Amino acid sequence: MPASARSLTPTQVHDYVRQHCFQPGYAGRVGVELELLTTQTGDPARRPRLDDLLAAVASVDPPEGSGISLEPGGQVELSSLPRPGPAAAIGATETDLDALRAVLGAAGIATAAIGLDFVRPYDRIVGGGRYEAMEAYFAADGAGPAMMCGTASVQVNSDLGDEAMITRRWRLVHALGPMLAASFANSPLTAGGPTGAKSSRQQIWAALDASRVAPVLTGTGPQSLGPVEAWARYAMAAGVMLIRTSPERFQPVGRGLPFAAWMADGHEAGYPTIEDFAYHLSTLFPPVRPKGWLELRMIDAVPDPWWQVAVAVTTALADDPATFEVAEHACGPVAACWSEAAAHGLTHPALASAARTCFAAALDALPRLGVGRELAALTAAYADRYVDRSRTPGDDLLDAWRADPRCSLSAPVAQWTRRTVRGRTSAIRS
């Protein structure tokens, strides 16, 4: 909470970033965060009752220890513990996802793994001072309600790397971002029909306050800054979204107050402390966010079993040394293609070429990372079904909509998921 006099210095900010966001360390750990839209079973145009959703979430006992939380529109998020390698991370996440869905299903709540809700208004149902302040801050951005209440993603968390590799890994995961966004695009629809984009979710995020959602590394400007300096500068330039005046109370802040200006000139609520800076970091949402690990946030929610491929491929590209170098060369030329990835997905020739190269390299790397035959076969099936044909899961969703423009979040998605699972089985058996 703020102090009455200026006390926080740029040196303290840099020290905090170095110690808490970029402490070197590599143990090959992987974490997974899955966001899912929620609906009332049998009535996908309605959100669950908040009391029912809260009660269901509170009653889940994930066998593998994942955390469960709710987003403003009732999206449920499952966050795994870090595990040694992709196979262990995926297995633990799948176990806890099954447990979560079983409890939700018994409570009359269905889930949909799609990047953007294309049926319902973007209404916030989860309260709290943080979300109220966030809603007020993003009111200037027409995309704010959609981002908060209608989007869902797959997030992959990776260790930073040892001190000799941390800068290179930081740059690589930024370069991977557009290729990954294009390869797993799954949000081509809104309530009005096709948007014309492959990842409308990514476009919604890009339409928000750039000071807190733009990539830290753009892929076009000078890349000479080290990770600590780059993230510290980014954070101090980002606008202050809210100020905590007590553990449970948040004061909204209008646009135009960069954190550096709050440090220098104060606010009617006071001057920031290092705790305020730490909280400020939690309100920044770039595609790659350093949190003591690297959180990759650019992948649309995709259904079973394809989220497993997103985790496996991302981890292989970042963690296997030989594949790492292939990814650097393949994705360097498209590192700035964020808008192209959202608009065109794998119909963009350069992104498609990078994706085919990266998926082929990842497939070679998976056995070296301890991935079993089933997950490797699933990844090969995804490459065949989508990447090699310049398609993504969103194209399946578009096909369902074209067959029936009245399709909802439930029936077409359920059929689509069943078709996908059968495709997985066939690919494995062959």
pLDDT of residue 422: 41
HSE-CB at 335 with a 13 A cutoff on CA atoms is: 22
Helix axis angle, 306-319 to 349-365, nearest 10°:
80
Residue with tokens 């963690």, as numbered in its chain: 319
Nearest to 284 by CA among 318, 321, 259: 259
Q: Which residues pair with 187 in a beta bridge?
A: 199
**pTM attached to this predicted model:** 0.94
Which phi and psi angles does 224 have, rounded to 5°? -80, -20
- Identify whether the C-beta of residue 148 lies closer than 8 Å to the C-beta of residue 72: yes
pLDDT at 4: 84
Low-confidence ranges of the chain (pLDDT < 50): 222, 411-430
Q: Could you report how far apart the first and last alpha carbons of the chain are, in Å?
A: 60
- The CA–CA distances, whole Å, from 115 to 79, 297, 302, 383 equal 17, 12, 7, 20
Backbone angles phi, psi at 21, to 5 degrees: -105, -25
Buried b (16+ CB within 10 A) or exposed e, 175-200: bbbbbbbbbbbbbbbbeeebbebbbb
- Name 385's Cβ contacts closer than 8 Å, sequence gap at least 6: 391, 423
CA 179 – CA 43 distance, rounded (Å): 35
Residue type, 223: Q
Q: What is the pLDDT of residue 428?
A: 34
Report the 10 Å Cβ neighbour count for 388: 16
Q: How far is 128 from 153, CA to CA, in rounded Å? A: 22
Tokens linked to 197: 């984009």
- Give the torsion through C-alpha atoms of 46, 52, 56, 58, to 10 deg: 130
CATH number, span 26-216+286-429: 3.30.590.20
Distances (CA, A) of 89 to 38, 111, 413: 24, 21, 25
Q: Token pair 């009111």 is at which residue?
A: 139
Place of tokens 């750039």: 210
Please name which of 301, 228, 252, 255 lies closest in space to residue 71, comparing C-alpha atoms.
301
CA pseudo-torsion sign 247, 248, 249, 255:
positive
Please answer whether residues 27 and 43 qualify as being in contact, where contact means their C-beta atoms are separated by less than 8 angstroms.
Answer: no
Half-sphere exposure of 96 (CA within 13 A, CB side): 27
Q: What's residue 43's pLDDT?
A: 87
List phi, psi (to 5°) of 196. 90, -5
Helix 393-403 / helix 411-429 crossing angle, nearest 10 deg: 130
Q: What is the pLDDT of residue 232?
A: 97
Dihedral of the alpha carbons of 293, 212, 222, 264, in degrees to the nearest 10: -100
pLDDT at residue number 223: 58
What phi and psi values does residue 257 have, to the nearest 5 degrees?
A: -120, 85
pLDDT score, position 411: 40
